[in-house]
């Protein structure tokens, strides 16, 4: 009986030693740091990376902290803008632990704390702007959010690298109104461009008309170019206008001179004759009834 007791004691001691040796050794990766607590107090600077030796039997306890950049998605928040437009906005926060001791000691869960700070400041900051500013000046809003959240998380040993607003979910009726507004603006811009093009074309045509008016030969050349362009098409009938200058080459009717193209002089009217005694007699006054 005594032998079995001794064997059990030896086995227990060996198991305790092995367990102590196992708890004494920790390995930290390159992106990890360890905050060591000895009997409840922080011992020195953060440890790692590499092999870390701790005192066994829970005399030393270590909390691992990652130094990698964490991309934290902020859940969609209901925001009321300055011009009373309700929308849902979500964002993403990029942060990393700069001081592991503060991240472990100052806050219980630094990731949760950063998420809550981002949500509250997101609603507060976006509520100060109107809808047009939120849609057009997103970079400015991102910088303001980054400054406020970074100032809040600095005391936790967490560095906020950047904050970006991802999606702005607008109501359906507001989306339709914005689409109609954008369509109206595009139509107005198209009309302005068309009017400006017509103004330039009219100016060029006016200058061309002035040149052709000073040089009639230019009109003839343009006429020949037009005829050449029309003749290249597959047309069965070609109607050509005749310049008015060509009409002077043909004789005119009415006894005109065919040589010089001058119109004929109309004959003088016949002379008036003096009425006779019978023709100039006035009818006698009466009742107008026939005799």
Residue 64's closest CA among 95, 37, 41, 39?
37
| Token pair listed for 1 | 């009986």
Which residues share a beta bridge with 71?
94
Across 66-70, 183-187, 282-286, least confident range: 282-286
HEC profile of the chain = CHHHHHHHHHHHHHHHHHHHHHHHEEEECCCEEEEEEECCEECCCCECCEEEECCCCCCEEEEEEECCCEEEEEEEEEEECCCCCEEEEEEEEEEEECCHHHHHHCCCCHHHHHHHHHHHHHHHHHCCCCHHHHHHCHHHHHHHHHHHHHHHHHHHCEEEEEEEEEEEECCHHHHHHHHHHHHHHHHHHHHHHHHHHHHHHHHHHHHHHHHHHHCHHHHHHHHHHHHHHHHCCCCCCCCCCCCHHHHHHCCCCCCCCCCCCCCCCCCCCCCCCCCCCCCCCCCCCCCCCCC
Full residue range of the structural domain in which residue 18 is found: 2-66
**Same domain for 148 and 87?**
yes
Last residue of a domain, one of 128, 144, 174: 174
Residue 83's closest CA among 156, 117, 40, 133?
133
| Token pair listed for 79 | 């925001």
228: Cα separation from own chain's centroid: 48
**Same domain for 42 and 113?**
no
248, part of any domain: no
Across 58-62, 91-95, 269-273, least confident range: 269-273
Cβ 74 vs Cβ 91: under 8 Å = yes
Verdict on whether the full-model pTM lies above 0.85: no
Strands 41-42 and 158-169: unpaired
Domain count for the chain, please give it: 2
Q: What is the CATH number of the domain that holds 142?
A: 3.30.479.30
pLDDT tens-digit map of 45-56: 898 888 888 888
- Crossing angle of helices 216-231 and 172-214, in 10° steps, is 120
**Same domain for 45 and 85?**
no
CA distance 170 to 87: 5
257, part of any domain: no
49 cis-preceded (ω within 30 degrees of 0): yes
8, part of any domain: yes
141, part of any domain: yes
Q: What is the CA radius of gyration of the chain?
A: 52
pLDDT tens-digit map of 229-285: 766 666 556 666 666 655 554 555 444 444 444 554 455 555 555 454 444 444 444
197, part of any domain: no
Last residue of a domain, one of 116, 151, 174: 174
205, part of any domain: no
268, part of any domain: no
76, part of any domain: yes
pLDDT tens-digit map of 10-53: 888 888 777 777 778 888 999 999 999 998 899 888 988 888 88
Across 47-56, 58-67, 132-141, 276-285, least confident range: 276-285
């Amino acid at each position: 009986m005594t032998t079995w007791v001794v064997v059990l004691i030896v086995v227990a001691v060996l198991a305790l030693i092995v367990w102590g040796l196992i708890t004494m050794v920790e390995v930290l990766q390159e992106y990890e740091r360890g905050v060591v607590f000895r009997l409840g107090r922080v011992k020195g600077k953060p440890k790692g990376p590499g092999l870390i030796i701790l005192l066994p039997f829970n005399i030393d306890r270590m909390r691992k902290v990652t130094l990698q950049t964490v991309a934290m998605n902020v859940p969609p928040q209901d925001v009321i803008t300055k011009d009373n437009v309700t929308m849902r906005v979500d964002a993403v926060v990029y942060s990393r632990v700069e001081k592991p001791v503060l991240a472990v000691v100052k806050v219980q869960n630094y990731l949760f704390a950063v998420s809550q700070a981002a949500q509250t400041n997101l609603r507060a900051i976006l509520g100060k702007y109107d809808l047009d500013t939120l849609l057009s000046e997103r970079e400015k809003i991102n910088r303001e959010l980054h400054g406020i959240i970074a100032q809040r998380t600095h005391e936790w040993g967490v560095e906020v690298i950047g904050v970006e607003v991802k999606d702005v979910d607008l109501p359906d009726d507001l989306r339709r109104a914005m689409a109609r507004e954008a369509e109206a603006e595009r139509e107005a811009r198209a009309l302005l461009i068309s009017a400006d093009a017509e103004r330039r074309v009219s100016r060029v045509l006016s200058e061309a008309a002035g040149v052709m008016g000073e040089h009639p030969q230019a009109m003839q050349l343009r006429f020949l170019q037009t005829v050449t362009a029309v003749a290249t098409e597959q047309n069965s009938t070609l109607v050509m206008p005749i310049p008015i200058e060509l009409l002077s080459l043909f004789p005119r009717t009415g006894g005109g001179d065919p040589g010089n193209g001058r119109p004929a002089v109309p004959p003088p009217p016949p002379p008036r004759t003096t009425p006779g005694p019978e023709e100039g007699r006035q009818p006698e006054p009466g009742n107008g009834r026939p005799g």
